[in-house]
Structure 1
Amino acid sequence: MTEGFRELRLDGVGRRFAGKDALADLDLTIRAGEFIALLGPSGCGKSTALNCLAGLLPLTSGSIWQDEKRIDVLPPEKRGFGMVFQSYALFPHMSVRRNIAFGLQMRRLPRAEVARRTAEAIRLVQLEEHVDKLPGQLSGGQQQRVAIARAVVLEPSLVLMDEPLSNLDAKLRLEMRTEIRRLHQSLGLTTVYVTHDQEEALSLADRLVVLRAGRVQQVGTPEELHARPVNWHVADFMGFRNLFEMTATQASRGDVVVEGEGMKLVGSAVSPIAEGSRAVAAVRPEDVRVVTGEGENHLDVDVEVVEYQGRELAVEVRTASGRALHVRTDQRLAPGDRVSLAIDPQRLLVYPLAPGEQAPAPLADVEAVAS
């Protein structure tokens, strides 16, 4: 087996292209056996970070250490890592068995050892019935299993996965997520996984690293990032679809009153915020409830769009000031209905806006720009 490590440390890792930072000042310590997800939108630097770790890109600044050994000066083949690509990168003329065994054969291991480890990897990814097929005869999910088996058969100290499920349909993605988690737990593999899918990251990772414009925004457990994003950029990416610029009119301890766009709401300040300052209020669609009667944080809205999603409806409503809000509810609503909504103050997170910082655009403005 490839020599293991206690921890992998990235110190101030940066990478520039054409004078611009694609990745800057990345500090991260990965413990042996940990599953880390690098998460963020396209162009945030997550794949750049993975490629720097793999040795496919040289660093512009910083260093990478495996315990006390510096490895960013080593070529990829000397680092002992396994990699699973988005494109699978299988040899089309080789059978499943030969694809998986190829790396072991290149290392000139004894034939019996190659056969044993190849058979074990095939069993792990449950492809025993397909060992003699060519990649072109397999489904997308089966091809991805071959790619994963080819990586783990080398018994690497670290497995790097670059958006491995993005080419699969929704059902296969769900199945392969479970498969990857099962393999990670059964083998104790240290894994770094790149994705733009926050649901995928939450379900797989022990810790998430959220990147934006090449810089780390937050590092934490799935529970921490889901419940308490550190800034509104992370909240936006982690499913807080309702974000709107408001003004903090009262602030005491953790509670803050914000006003704007015809709304007056009580929320929970994520970080200190001064009265009279600009703020972004954020709440998840599932934390906006359809209610009857009056009360704190109540809004009267008109239902405009209803999407059936099984047990729940995804609903877009509009306030009297014309602002769109997103709601998830099990109540049967229809376009044209007028309903009351309530937002739990503890679920409405309020973030200060830095001087000169641009607030999130309303959904209608985003759609106008996109079109």
Structure 2
Amino acid sequence: MDFPDVTLPAKPLFQPGDVVIGKYRIDVALGAGRYGEVYRVFNTAMGHMSALKVINVENPALHKAGIEAQAHALCQHDHVVKILTADVLNGAVLIEMELIDGRSLEDRLFAEFVPVLESLSFIKDILFALEHAHARGIIHRDVKPGNIMLCAGRAKLSDFGVALHPETGLSPSGHSHFYRPHASPEAYNDNSFSASSDVFSTGLTLLRAVNNQADWKGALGGADWRALVGNGRLAEQMGVAPYVPRALKTIINKAVHRDPGQRYDSAVKFREALQRLRPARSWLRESDDHWSCLFKGKTEIVRFIPATNAVDYLVSGRRQSFGSKRFDTELQARAHMAKLIGESTLLKPTARRPRPAA
């Protein structure tokens, strides 16, 4: 079975107004997934709003202990959604978390185009969170757009509900829930989890973000995602969008390499590689034929003109000859447009000065 976790009811477990374990008054259901349901609740004992996740697990007491250990280790980090308390109710674990006044990266990808530079910023935040977790022996195992919460231009990593923690004695063989579509091949095939497997999942998340792939299965062309995950070729099948800068493609390919020995061996190394990139233009795709950005106080536009198979590059309304061209075919024109976007998203690396001879 590919997702041996929870069986969700046809309707939410709780309704608005319900009071759970005497202190959580249900306000509204926020969402549901394979691992549980999430509600916005009012904690009547503490007098604040929070998010409450309800998850059915095989051993609720052990799972509660794991959540409490993680909360103690992680609660001080700015890029981790804070876990407040954990309780057990009728074979389920209730996890109270801080309520983020925003939406997930997955929600954003479904709703609108997310510029490449914004995705880069979000993933760097998440890598900071993973550095903090990995330094404490915690492996997340569930990095995906739906578990990245966005608020005020920053990102926080959420849902450590299936993470491994050394203090609890939990092991891959005794705790089998994890998000399989984003799993590294060694995690999917052998239940072998490490900081490197979280790096892989984060790399795949970055790929989906820069590609703006909310519905990633649609990019597989009917291929069996299980086989692709098992042999480490899911990212290859998805491909990288043509407007993504070449330097970023190189970093993503290394992060999702099927061989752990060829992958970034830590979240630190992955983040440092992203930080060496030099952001420039945050291009917004307004339509397939029209891209725009604000750079150094000037509006820049790249547009495709179907009638003539032409591409125009405009700066403050003035056509720039270096990027504006006509082509014989639409395919050539669109390839040129993507190249313009990709090459201008980042500044070129600065040349290193040669060291003086000893």
Q: TM-score, normalised by structure 2?
A: 0.26
Q: More strand by proportion, 1 or 2?
A: 1
Structure number, greater radius of gyration: 1
Higher relative contact order (CA 8 A, sep 6+): 1
Q: More helix by proportion, 1 or 2?
A: 2
